[in-house]
A = this chain, B = another copy of it.
Amino acid sequence: MSHLRIGELADRTGTSAPTIRYYEEIGLLRAAPRQAGNQRVYGRADVDRLTFIRRCREFDFSIEQVRTLVGLLDNRSSSCLDARELAAAHLEAVRAKMRELRALERSLVGFVADCDAQCAGGPGPDCVILGDLGKRCGCGPVVP
Protein backbone atom coordinates (compact mmCIF):
# COMPACT_ATOMS: atom_id res chain seq x y z
CA MET A 1 0.00 0.00 0.00
CA SER A 2 2.78 2.36 0.81
CA HIS A 3 5.87 3.28 -1.14
CA LEU A 4 3.98 4.94 -3.91
CA ARG A 5 5.62 6.85 -6.67
CA ILE A 6 4.35 10.20 -7.77
CA GLY A 7 1.99 8.91 -10.44
CA GLU A 8 0.21 6.59 -8.06
CA LEU A 9 -0.09 9.31 -5.46
CA ALA A 10 -1.57 11.53 -8.14
CA ASP A 11 -4.11 8.87 -9.12
CA ARG A 12 -5.16 8.23 -5.55
CA THR A 13 -5.70 11.88 -4.78
CA GLY A 14 -7.10 13.18 -8.03
CA THR A 15 -4.06 15.32 -8.66
CA SER A 16 -1.43 15.39 -11.37
CA ALA A 17 2.25 14.70 -10.94
CA PRO A 18 3.29 18.25 -11.89
CA THR A 19 0.83 19.63 -9.35
CA ILE A 20 2.35 17.46 -6.64
CA ARG A 21 5.81 18.70 -7.53
CA TYR A 22 4.41 22.23 -7.50
CA TYR A 23 2.97 21.72 -4.00
CA GLU A 24 6.34 20.48 -2.87
CA GLU A 25 8.04 23.48 -4.40
CA ILE A 26 5.80 25.94 -2.57
CA GLY A 27 6.16 24.04 0.67
CA LEU A 28 2.64 22.68 0.98
CA LEU A 29 4.03 19.15 0.90
CA ARG A 30 7.33 18.18 2.46
CA ALA A 31 10.20 17.39 0.14
CA ALA A 32 9.60 13.70 -0.49
CA PRO A 33 12.41 11.21 0.14
CA ARG A 34 13.90 9.67 -2.97
CA GLN A 35 14.53 6.10 -3.89
CA ALA A 36 17.68 4.84 -5.63
CA GLY A 37 17.12 6.50 -8.97
CA ASN A 38 16.13 9.89 -7.54
CA GLN A 39 12.42 9.22 -7.84
CA ARG A 40 10.13 10.50 -5.11
CA VAL A 41 8.61 7.96 -2.73
CA TYR A 42 5.41 8.54 -0.82
CA GLY A 43 3.52 6.76 1.93
CA ARG A 44 0.11 6.57 3.48
CA ALA A 45 0.50 9.85 5.34
CA ASP A 46 1.18 11.65 2.10
CA VAL A 47 -2.01 10.31 0.57
CA ASP A 48 -3.97 11.60 3.55
CA ARG A 49 -2.34 14.97 3.62
CA LEU A 50 -2.73 15.52 -0.09
CA THR A 51 -6.32 14.33 0.04
CA PHE A 52 -6.95 16.90 2.73
CA ILE A 53 -5.30 19.59 0.62
CA ARG A 54 -7.31 18.66 -2.47
CA ARG A 55 -10.56 18.74 -0.55
CA CYS A 56 -9.74 22.16 0.73
CA ARG A 57 -9.01 23.27 -2.83
CA GLU A 58 -12.29 21.80 -4.03
CA PHE A 59 -13.87 23.96 -1.35
CA ASP A 60 -12.24 26.86 -3.13
CA PHE A 61 -9.91 27.70 -0.32
CA SER A 62 -6.90 29.53 -1.71
CA ILE A 63 -3.45 28.01 -1.41
CA GLU A 64 -2.68 30.44 1.38
CA GLN A 65 -5.82 29.44 3.25
CA VAL A 66 -4.95 25.80 2.77
CA ARG A 67 -1.53 26.56 4.15
CA THR A 68 -3.22 27.94 7.26
CA LEU A 69 -5.48 24.91 7.58
CA VAL A 70 -2.57 22.54 7.13
CA GLY A 71 -0.71 24.54 9.73
CA LEU A 72 -3.58 23.98 12.16
CA LEU A 73 -3.34 20.29 11.41
CA ASP A 74 0.40 20.23 11.98
CA ASN A 75 0.06 22.14 15.19
CA ARG A 76 -2.88 20.62 16.99
CA SER A 77 -2.34 22.73 20.06
CA SER A 78 -3.62 25.77 18.23
CA SER A 79 -7.27 26.58 18.41
CA CYS A 80 -9.66 24.64 16.27
CA LEU A 81 -11.83 27.70 16.41
CA ASP A 82 -9.41 29.22 13.95
CA ALA A 83 -10.60 26.69 11.40
CA ARG A 84 -14.20 27.55 12.12
CA GLU A 85 -13.41 31.22 11.63
CA LEU A 86 -11.72 30.54 8.34
CA ALA A 87 -14.61 28.40 7.15
CA ALA A 88 -17.18 30.97 8.21
CA ALA A 89 -15.35 33.75 6.41
CA HIS A 90 -15.05 31.55 3.39
CA LEU A 91 -18.76 30.82 3.51
CA GLU A 92 -19.47 34.53 3.35
CA ALA A 93 -17.26 34.87 0.30
CA VAL A 94 -19.01 31.95 -1.37
CA ARG A 95 -22.40 33.51 -0.70
CA ALA A 96 -21.29 36.84 -2.10
CA LYS A 97 -20.10 35.11 -5.23
CA MET A 98 -23.41 33.33 -5.52
CA ARG A 99 -25.31 36.60 -5.26
CA GLU A 100 -23.19 37.95 -8.11
CA LEU A 101 -23.86 34.89 -10.17
CA ARG A 102 -27.58 35.07 -9.56
CA ALA A 103 -27.64 38.64 -10.82
CA LEU A 104 -25.59 37.57 -13.80
CA GLU A 105 -27.93 34.70 -14.48
CA ARG A 106 -30.96 36.99 -14.44
CA SER A 107 -29.29 39.34 -16.88
CA LEU A 108 -28.35 36.56 -19.24
CA VAL A 109 -31.81 35.05 -19.13
CA GLY A 110 -33.27 38.43 -20.00
CA PHE A 111 -30.75 38.89 -22.75
CA VAL A 112 -31.55 35.54 -24.34
CA ALA A 113 -35.29 36.16 -23.97
CA ASP A 114 -34.98 39.49 -25.69
CA CYS A 115 -33.03 37.85 -28.45
CA ASP A 116 -35.81 35.36 -28.95
CA ALA A 117 -38.50 38.00 -28.86
CA GLN A 118 -36.91 40.64 -31.01
CA CYS A 119 -34.50 38.88 -33.26
CA ALA A 120 -36.64 35.93 -34.20
CA GLY A 121 -36.62 37.46 -37.66
CA GLY A 122 -33.12 36.15 -38.10
CA PRO A 123 -29.70 37.48 -38.83
CA GLY A 124 -28.76 40.70 -40.47
CA PRO A 125 -27.56 44.22 -39.88
CA ASP A 126 -30.89 45.21 -38.35
CA CYS A 127 -30.29 43.04 -35.32
CA VAL A 128 -31.04 44.98 -32.21
CA ILE A 129 -29.57 42.79 -29.53
CA LEU A 130 -26.01 43.86 -30.01
CA GLY A 131 -27.03 47.46 -29.57
CA ASP A 132 -26.40 47.40 -25.88
CA LEU A 133 -25.50 44.22 -24.13
CA GLY A 134 -25.33 46.12 -20.88
CA LYS A 135 -28.75 47.73 -21.04
CA ARG A 136 -29.91 44.47 -22.55
CA CYS A 137 -31.44 45.02 -25.91
CA GLY A 138 -32.25 48.68 -25.62
CA CYS A 139 -32.23 48.55 -29.41
CA GLY A 140 -29.79 50.58 -31.38
CA PRO A 141 -26.11 50.65 -32.14
CA VAL A 142 -23.45 51.04 -29.49
CA VAL A 143 -22.43 54.38 -30.89
CA PRO A 144 -25.56 56.50 -30.77
Residues of A within 8 A of B (CB): 44-45, 48-49, 51-52, 55-56, 58-60, 69, 72-73, 76-81, 83-84, 87-88, 90-91, 94-95, 97-98, 101-102, 104-105, 107-109, 111-112, 115-116, 119, 122-125, 127-130, 132-134, 141-144
A134-B81 contact, Cβ under 8 Å, with A105-B98, A143-B44: no
How near does chain B come to A71, taking the closest CB pair, in angstroms? Answer: 10
A44 and B122 CA atoms in complex are apart in Å by: 30
The answer to whether A119 and B87 have CB atoms under 8 Å apart is no
Residue in contact with A59 in the complex, picked from B104, B128, B132, CB distance below 8 Å: B104
Copies in the complex: 2
Contact among B58, B124, B133 for A69, CB-based, below 8 A: B133
